[in-house]
Chain A
Amino acid sequence: ETGVTQTPRHLVMGMTNKKSLKCEQHLGHNAMYWYKQSAKKPLELMFVYNFKEQTENNSVPSRFSPECPNSSHLFLHLHTLQPEDSALYLCASSQEVGPDTQYFGPGTRLTVL
């Protein structure tokens, strides 16, 4: 247990569905991250939030919409996804000062049919 939880752990959705991924951190951190890991590819950073403000968007398509209502929660809203969006989606958090190591959640395995 890293103190970062993600739900659901597995999700299957059609291309016309709308779903949301949730991440919660219990570490008192101020920064949160979304990563995508496709089969046989390195982890790719998608979004970064610092104190609820989005500070990085790595050219992610608009069908992925992040939301950070507070420093402990992060959502990734999904709509009209493509089969190539099937991947493991990972959330991480880090603190502002001192050791700002990123701690990862277990991930959500997404399959788009």
Chain B
Amino acid sequence: DAKTTQPPSMDCAEGRAANLPCNHSTISGNEYVYWYRQIHSQGPQYIIHGLKNNETNEMASLIITEDRKSSTLILPHATLRDTAVYYCIVRVPLGGATNKLIFGTGTLLAVQP
């Protein structure tokens, strides 16, 4: 079962910031939060990840609450090409070099012109 809960859908105006929330109240201390997105029928695209500190890269920012029970993905200036399903995922280590991404149903972000 997924360890995260997300709203099923959100709308955002083009050029505005998109803030996508995620709850992960049962996350363990060594489990990372990952965000991927999937444009229709393509492979998931990695966006960003974090453990407890806020993170920023060229695509997005990730804000993780101090208790680590929730996080928010921020796309600073959404474009029409950002329309996709966004997955908030808890990465579970499997031992050795491998890990397990537990996908939920994600949030369908629709960027409106």
Q: Is B2 an interface residue (CB 8 A)?
A: yes
Find the B residue at minimum CB distance from A45. Answer: B100
- Chain A residues within 8 Å of B43, by CB: 2, 4, 90, 92, 104-107
Stretch at the interface among B10-18, B20-28, B66-74, B90-98: B90-98
Contact in complex: B45, A106 (CB < 8 Å): no
Contact in complex: B34, A55 (CB < 8 Å): no
Find the B residue at minimum CB distance from A56. Answer: B94
- Chain B residues within 8 Å of A31, by CB: 97-98
What are the interface flags for A48-64 relative to B under an 8 Å C-beta threshold, 1 for contact and 0 otherwise? 10110001100000000
Complex partner residue of A42 from B2, B46, B49, B95, CB under 8 angstroms? B2
Q: Is A30 an interface residue (CB 8 A)?
A: yes
Contact in complex: A43, B46 (CB < 8 Å): no
Q: Is B112 an interface residue (CB 8 A)?
A: no
Q: How far is the CA of A103 from the CA of B34 in the complex (A)?
A: 12
Min distance, Cβ A82 to any Cβ of chain B, angstroms: 21
What are the interface flags for A73-99 relative to B under an 8 Å C-beta threshold, 1 for contact and 0 otherwise? 000000000000000101010111100
Range, interface on chain B? 20 to 34
Contact in complex: A48, B105 (CB < 8 Å): no
Given contacts A50-B98, A56-B100, contact A101 B49 (CB under 8 A): yes
Q: Is B51 an interface residue (CB 8 A)?
A: no
Contact in complex: A101, B44 (CB < 8 Å): no
Contact in complex: B96, A55 (CB < 8 Å): yes
Contact in complex: B105, A42 (CB < 8 Å): yes
Given contacts A103-B46, A107-B41, contact A56 B98 (CB under 8 A): yes
Contact in complex: B96, A50 (CB < 8 Å): yes
Residues of B within 8 A of A (CB): 2, 34, 36, 41-46, 49, 94-101, 103-106
25 contacts between A and B (CB under 8 A): A2-B43, A2-B46, A30-B97, A42-B104, A42-B105, A42-B106, A43-B101, A43-B103, A48-B100, A50-B96, A56-B94, A90-B44, A92-B43, A94-B98, A94-B99, A96-B97, A101-B46, A102-B46, A102-B101, A103-B46, A104-B36, A104-B43, A104-B45, A105-B43, A106-B42
